[in-house]
């Protein structure tokens, strides 16, 4: 499939890196007490909480998540989605954008370091003040803008801590030439 509006590994790296930065970036974590799971890294549950099947519903782990519906090939299972997420995390580590194992401040406490500003092409648009579509709670959404040839992708990520609704909106825009 060669759809220019399809999400790519670079888009997934940005989405995953941003979620990691928002959920655990800069927070002190006692690694002797806690092994940080994917769900904790991505902010689906708080560090130290155990995720269950229900926690993963309506998240990037589901093949029906809007991100995967715009993926360049079919994602048909949660196993495939998780494998892609793990591949994105591995590539962020390989590029020194995500430091795991964490940066040690002393023998017990670590501070994860994530610098998504190094990811090519994306620019933060700024805070978008809106409300959650699930519970109506006022929230601040993360928005990004990415040029891609003659098109642009605007991405709006909404993560409500009140009702735990997690949504990603993507708008493809095309540059019109006169």
Per residue in 61-112, pLDDT (tens digit) is 999 998 998 887 888 999 999 999 999 988 888 877 776 655 455 555 555 5
The pTM of the full predicted model, rounded to 2 decimals, is: 0.61
Neighbours of 49 (CB within 10 A): 13
State how far the Cα of 86 lies from the Cα of 172, in Å rounded to an integer: 26
State how far the Cα of 20 lies from the Cα of 160, in Å rounded to an integer: 15
Per residue in 131-150, pLDDT (tens digit) is 888 888 888 777 776 665 56
Percent of the chain with pLDDT over 70: 70
């Amino acid at each position: 499939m060669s759809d220019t509006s399809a999400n790519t590994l670079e888009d997934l790296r940005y989405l995953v890196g941003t979620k990691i930065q928002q959920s655990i970036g800069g927070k002190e974590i006692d690694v002797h007490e806690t092994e940080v799971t994917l769900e904790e890294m991505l902010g689906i549950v708080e560090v130290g909480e155990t995720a269950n099947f229900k926690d993963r519903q309506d998240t990037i782990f589901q093949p029906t998540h809007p991100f995967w519906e715009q993926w360049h090939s079919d994602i048909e299972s949660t196993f495939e989605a998780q494998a892609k997420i793990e591949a994105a995390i591995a590539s962020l580590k390989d590029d020194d954008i995500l430091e795991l194992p964490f940066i040690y401040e002393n023998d017990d406490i670590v501070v994860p370091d994530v610098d998504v500003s190094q990811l090519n092409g994306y620019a933060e648009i700024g805070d978008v003040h809106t409300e959650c579509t699930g519970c109506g709670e006022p929230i601040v959404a993360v928005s990004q803008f990415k040029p891609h040839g003659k098109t642009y992708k605007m991405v709006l990520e909404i993560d409500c801590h009140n009702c735990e609704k997690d949504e990603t909106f993507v708008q493809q825009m095309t540059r019109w030439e006169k």
